[in-house]
Structure 1
Amino acid sequence: MSEEIPRLDLLRFLERVQLQQLDQTRRWITDEEQRQAEHAARHPLPPPPDWVVEQGIGVGHRVVAVHQGWCRMAGRRVKSVPRDEALRLLGEDSGRACQQCRPDTELGVL
């Protein structure tokens, strides 16, 4: 007495199952976003430094550029410096000023 289930009914059943799985996945995503937001609120990133110098490679790590702390053009080899050090470095060589963030303009060197 086996009765065959129509194909359309099977497809509708499959659709319901997949929609339930999609809803579950969306709940998991919402939960994870909330966890990440709570973590970010408890552990905020420190503000960027006001001034950074980009150092070259090799012996001595010569300063190749001065940037404002937020500048995305600064490479990986950077360290923060105080305002007076940034002024001194730009005074020695104005060519060290980043052409994107213009620390020389912000520091009033021009």
Structure 2
Amino acid sequence: MNDAESSRLTLLRFLERVQGRDLSRTRRWIADEERREAERRVGEARRPSAPGWLIERGLDRINIVAVHTGECWDPGKRVKPASREQAIDALRQQVPACTKCRPDTALGIEV
């Protein structure tokens, strides 16, 4: 065996070690990603369902200032979950409906 063959074999052994480390690292990344995905699924399963309707209160937290659907993208900071009946009652008492999510339309009430 000459030096060229032995040096080629040495390089191939080195490549094998490097690729082995790369494979181990990739397997760790895969395991970490699988763990994160499992945690995300558990979190979604435990998340409470969104309320159907929201009542927004004023700064004094007494006056009702708007009614929203539970899926409204702009409900304000002072909202509380409400039942369908509470939302309907608020709208009938002239509480404004959100102009973005239109709960009055969703409830079939004309304001």
CA distance in 2, matches of 1:78, 1:24: 44
Tell me which residue corresponds to 2:37.
33
1:3 is matched with none
Q: Which residue does the alignment assign to 1:76?
A: 77
SS in 2 for 1:84: helix
- From the superposition, tell whether residues 33 and 66 of structure 1 become closer, same or farther in structure 2 (CA, over 3 Å): same
Distance 1:107 1:52, change over 3 A: same
What SS does structure 2 have at the residue aligned with 1:67? strand
Structure 1 residues 5-84: aligned runs within 5 Å: 13-14=17-18, 16-38=20-42, 40-41=44-45, 44-57=46-59, 59-84=60-85
Q: Distance in 2 between matches of 1:49 and 1:55?
A: 16
Structure 2: how far apart are the matches of 1:101 and 1:71? 5
Identity %: 32
Alpha-carbon offset, residue 47 of structure 1: 2.3
Q: Give the alignment's Cα RMSD to 1 decimal.
A: 3.1
Structure 1 residues without counterparts, runs of 5 or longer: 1-5
Structure 1 stretches (4+) deviating beyond 3 angstroms? 6-16, 38-41
Q: State the aligned residue count.
A: 103
For 1:14 and 1:27, the matched residues in 2 are separated by 20
Q: Tell me, what secondary structure is at the counterpart of 2:47?
A: coil
TM-score normalised by L of structure 1: 0.66
CA distance in 2, matches of 1:22, 1:13: 14
Larger radius of gyration: 2
